[in-house]
Structure 1
């Protein structure tokens, strides 16, 4: 979307304001990180809205449930790393799920706290799953099986590169 700055009243624009797009600015229609972020935001908003409407739980709560469905006994730290979420976000969701009796913590070795879904948590997983899967259906609707495989391969490669870059940047700041 292009904004025509010349249609704006000049009385409101200070004379020192830059009113024309910069020659070296990013093309927003072809900047891949922006496009990925917009897609992700739209999908997360849809999913979160539906999860809250149907179950009074949000996307982060769903992510914890989903992670434990495939990784029973994972610790909060392991779930945090797996999902790439902030520890505080995971902690808040874990507390919500504990209050709703969807999750339980057990004592583990060296103070770790393995987490497991309760039967109610497993039932909640099965009830929430179609909402999450609908997001995947939206993304993949117009792609062939081979294109889906290639897209997933490319995304995994991009994630690996992003993790490598993050590791290098973290090491540079130590």
Structure 2
């Protein structure tokens, strides 16, 4: 019989509901992917809230602007790969940023569409940059530069491992026999 408080009323036939924690679960205080996700979510929420409030743009828009500041002339596909998000996310941001005349798409070779920041986009980048770097300042405050370098090396190694695992899984799926 499911346990509950006096105010919890379970419907008839719910005798098999889980009402106690399972024993074979992750340790939420020491599960590294969870901790990384919590940190990322907190930083993204802070940044997104401030970017929307101040500029009417979100974190994904900032990521595209930042990517084009680093890699002028990148295509939407190249931006997608660089920032590691879904192509639809970049497409939506490109539409928003082009409508606000912060980026422009030009006709490139073989039908490509290189993206460039406009002068207004460069100014927007410079205004948005401190919002983004503030999150880094918060989490790295008081850390020794050598520890920051070691942390960044560990994070890049983790990212590489996930990319390799994803590529391996994709290759296995491509090689799997097609069901008849």
TM-score with structure 1 setting the length: 0.93
**Hey, what's the Cα distance between the residues in 1 that align with 2:43 and 2:8?**
40
- Unaligned segments of structure 1, at least 5 residues: none
**Hey, what's the Cα distance between the residues in 1 that align with 2:9 and 2:100?**
53
- Report the equivalent of 2:146: 146
Structure 2 residue 19 is the aligned partner of structure 1 residue 22: no
**Hey, what's the Cα distance between the residues in 2 that align with 1:16 and 1:73?**
58
Coordinate RMSD, CA, aligned: 1.6
Return the offset for 1:17.
Answer: 2.2
**Hey, what's the Cα distance between the residues in 1 that align with 2:105 and 2:23?**
55
Cα 1:11/1:122, change in 2 over 3 Å: closer
Return the offset for 1:120.
Answer: 0.3
Aligned residues: 170
TM-score with structure 2 setting the length: 0.90
**Hey, what's the Cα distance between the residues in 2 that align with 1:116 and 1:11?**
57
User: 4+ residue stretches of structure 1 with deviation over 3 A?
Assistant: none
- Unaligned segments of structure 2, at least 5 residues: 175-180
Return the offset for 1:142.
Answer: 3.0
Cα 1:119/1:28, change in 2 over 3 Å: same
**Hey, what's the Cα distance between the residues in 1 that align with 2:25 and 2:107?**
53
